[in-house]
Structure 1
Amino acid sequence: MEIQPLKIGTKMAKVPVIQGGMGVGISLGNLAGAVAKEGGIGIISAAQPGFKEKDFEKNPLEANLRAVKSEYEKARKLAPDGIIGFNLMVAMEHYEEYVHAVVEAGADLIVSGAGLPTELPKYVGDSDILLAPIVSTAKSANVILKYWDKKYQRIPDLVVIEGPLAGGHLGFREDQLDEYEGQAIYDQEIQKIKEIIQNYSDKYEKKIPIAIGGGIHDSESAAHAFSLGADAIQVATRFVTTEECDADIRYKEAYLNAGKEDIVIVKSPVGMPGRAILNPFMKKVKEQGRIAPAHCYRCLKHCNPGTTPYCITQALINAAKGNVDDALLFCGAYAYRADHLETVKEVIDSLMPERV
């Protein structure tokens, strides 16, 4: 199968691989820059990127907005001509302010999920930044495209279809995860999503590229995504165990040491199910029902520190810093297959053998 470059708007990615956004602190400037340098699309997570800033606890928003700029500049220095974007969760507090910061930084692309990014076109204004909503079902795709068409007279520059085998927050109810168990069943949903996208592509007489993500870990799963009509693949978990990944080595080792039975579905304070490695922290949450936060970072719109099962920001910061026994270790369904550290180039080459 011949792999074609990915054209999004006026941008061209030589390699049709989008590195998924992973926060807190897993995909920052170093990883995103390395992926963009290899011809793919590097994505920085805007989930608490300023967690290492001295004033983060007192002024998390200010620290994060500074980090948006500095992490983008770090990535851009590594890949002066590459495509570099940000992943923004709709569920984030101050979502609009992060959008403005990303636009001001000069990023090429915004990928947005963990909720429906219905107002994203309004927030970017007249900017030419590329917009890519994440959808998991035909219903969510229809809502976003219909809303953008009616209210903003525009369509996405790219749509990311994220399936049930993805890592981190999942765009499904728990009962849907059971319903879509097995790639073949979800492939039918992908076709429904594609039909909706095609309708708007026809209306605007403009191609809307599609990226498929979730469970893509080798050349076979990548080829399957392309066989479904994907213009690109989104891959996250494979990039965690790379030398260039921004995470602490102990986080990477947690992936290398995980067995198949350690990959579980967990409840997130965001209100969505998520996929993570079962570790002492998640066992403690399950046993106790709740671990009261010691500090509120004001990260999520609908999080009540008085009732949340645990502080997701603190749990993810602990993960990024390597305190893996007291952390939320998000991962994809096949994280347990990682058995050694690689380079970003080696990962991309393994996904795209035709490119080698």
Structure 2
Amino acid sequence: MDREIRKLNDTLVNIFNTVMKMEEEAIQKASYDDISITEVHTLEAIGTGRARTMTHVANILGIKVSTLTTAVGRLVKKGYVRRFRDEADRRMVKISLSERGARVVREHEAFHEAMIRAALSGIPEDSISRFVESVGSINDFLLMRRSTAYARKREFKLSAMKLAGNELPVPIVQAGMSIGVAGSRLAAAVALEGGLGLIGTSEIGWRTKGYDKDPLTVNLRVIEEEVARARKNVEAGGGRGLVGAAVMWTHRDAGKYVKAAVKGGAQVIVTSAGLPKDLPAYCSDRKIALIPTISSRRAASAITKTWTQKYNRTPDGFIFQGPLAAGLLGFKESELEKACGDRYKIIAEVKAELGKLENCPLIVGGGIACREDAEKVYDYGADGIMMGTRFVATEECDAVRRYKELYLNCTENDVTIIRSPMKTSVRVMKNSFADSLAATGRED
């Protein structure tokens, strides 16, 4: 095994050196000969899309802004980069590629694609996916090692965070539990203390007159009313926290729910259960924070890429819903045991991905019940925490008293994991309904 490890090490080093050499040779043969490979990589980080700030590009490259400023200055003189002040905020300097710079990036991308295709041509078709998976595992390890830079060695402190156009004084998010559990009363109480109170939108109007005949109309009206009521109570009480709405993206009326919440004055929209790739289509106001809930780095990357290309915006934050959360989970039941063991690794990976974005905080939920739990996720990069179960038993929670008592009397043996009708794992309290779902995988 030692010989294999040495061979793998030598191979990885040789691959790195060979690729670097090939890149340098490609530059010499290309249409541009006054630029280094490091400068080409800087152009790639700037990207061919919308203009970016210096901080954004520096985060992508993993260098200091001062170092990038010097490099960009040279690229501007050579005609590869444009540097200008943002029209909306003259204090902000942005950079983008000139046509010459964009041509360099396109040529370099074509070089890499040709190189990879040539390398894969010697591998049997049925082995390519296994090879890609193995290389991905090595990359994941290196990414994890890189993520140690996000470990916080300073004293644990809950600091205010920016969410789009608003500041959240206390970075604690109350989960948007649905079907009337988290309504205006609970959300307002949390926001009055400086946190983010979320109103659960799914079937929020089930206790309202007319719901049985026209549930959609009633739900939309109640969403708007509940959000507006919470905002009014927070403003009247002088609270500095925020009020938002939680929307399950797999719900057929998710987009309409978002619009109703925005109409009611929601300052934050949080989505769960699915990738909200078209969420910005339902909320164009950039002062309202759009925060998807994810369970992996890949999900964060996919959402960011789609939003950037289609809507010219990026998420205002992400919530990582870990494997220890109550309710819907982003993992199959067969994956949960491994996910629990990899929980902190996944947090670090997600944080590393968000490091490429500007002002994109990471909020971590699931299994956080005390200060020690919060400190642990902060060590791996969390900027805030989300809690749900602890809020259910409060006096301010909108659920009926009997429901709260079930939580108070619940033990670990009373909890189980089943497959929900949406084909995702869900952690629930044992009862006849849960038993039915566990047995059939669907509602009776």
TM superposition score normalised by structure 2:
0.62
Cα distance in structure 1, aligned partners of 2:378 and 2:438: 39
Report what 2:346 is aligned to. Answer: 189
The aligned amino acid for 1:158 is G
Shift, 1:280, TM fit: 3.1
CA displacement, residues 124-160 of structure 1 (integer Å, 9 cap, x when unaligned): 1245311001110112111111111122221111111
Pair 1:104-2:237 in alignment: no
Report what 1:225 is aligned to. Answer: 377
SS at 1:149 equivalent: helix
CA displacement, residues 8-51 of structure 1 (integer Å, 9 cap, x when unaligned): 12311221101011011110111101100111000001101111
Cα distance in structure 2, aligned partners of 1:224 and 1:198: 19
Report what 1:79 is aligned to. Answer: 234
Report what 1:330 is aligned to. Answer: none
Instruction: Decide whether the 8 Å contact of 1:47 with 1:89 is kept in 2.
Output: yes
Matches within 5 A, 1:1-356: 1-80=156-235, 81=239, 82-126=241-285, 128-182=287-341, 185-199=342-356, 201=357, 206-286=358-438, 289=440, 309-310=442-443
* Aligned Cα root-mean-square deviation (Å): 1.5
Shift, 1:181, TM fit: 2.5
Cα distance in structure 1, aligned partners of 2:425 and 2:268: 26
Change over 3 Å in CA distance of 1:2–1:96 after alignment to 2: closer
Shift, 1:286, TM fit: 4.1
SS at 1:233 equivalent: strand
Report what 1:319 is aligned to. Answer: none
Instruction: Decide whether the 8 Å contact of 2:277 with 2:306 is kept in 1.
Output: yes
Cα distance in structure 1, aligned partners of 2:291 and 2:250: 16
The aligned amino acid for 2:359 is K
Change over 3 Å in CA distance of 1:88–1:278 after alignment to 2: same
Instruction: Decide whether the 8 Å contact of 1:103 with 1:127 is kept in 2.
Output: no
Cα distance in structure 2, aligned partners of 1:20 and 1:105: 19
SS at 1:66 equivalent: helix
Cα distance in structure 2, aligned partners of 1:126 and 1:36: 21
Shift, 1:283, TM fit: 2.8
Percent of aligned pairs with the same amino acid: 38
Shift, 1:122, TM fit: 1.4
The number of residues matched between the two structures is 285
SS at 1:180 equivalent: helix
Cα distance in structure 2, aligned partners of 1:285 and 1:179: 24
The aligned amino acid for 1:117 is P
Change over 3 Å in CA distance of 1:62–1:171 after alignment to 2: same
Structure with the bigger percentage of helix: 2
Cα distance in structure 2, aligned partners of 1:125 and 1:219: 37
SS at 2:216 equivalent: helix
TM superposition score normalised by structure 1:
0.77
Change over 3 Å in CA distance of 1:286–1:118 after alignment to 2: closer
Greater relative contact order (CA < 8 Å, ≥ 6 in sequence):
1
Cα distance in structure 2, aligned partners of 1:4 and 1:127: 23
Cα distance in structure 2, aligned partners of 1:3 and 1:31: 21
SS at 2:204 equivalent: coil
CA displacement, residues 33-87 of structure 1 (integer Å, 9 cap, x when unaligned): 1100111000001101111111101100000011012211221232114310000
Cα distance in structure 2, aligned partners of 1:244 and 1:93: 30
Cα distance in structure 1, aligned partners of 2:161 and 2:428: 30
Cα distance in structure 1, aligned partners of 2:438 and 2:345: 34
Change over 3 Å in CA distance of 1:95–1:286 after alignment to 2: closer
SS at 1:181 equivalent: helix
Shift, 1:116, TM fit: 0.4
The aligned amino acid for 1:129 is I
Cα distance in structure 2, aligned partners of 1:153 and 1:285: 41
SS at 1:43 equivalent: strand
SS at 2:363 equivalent: strand
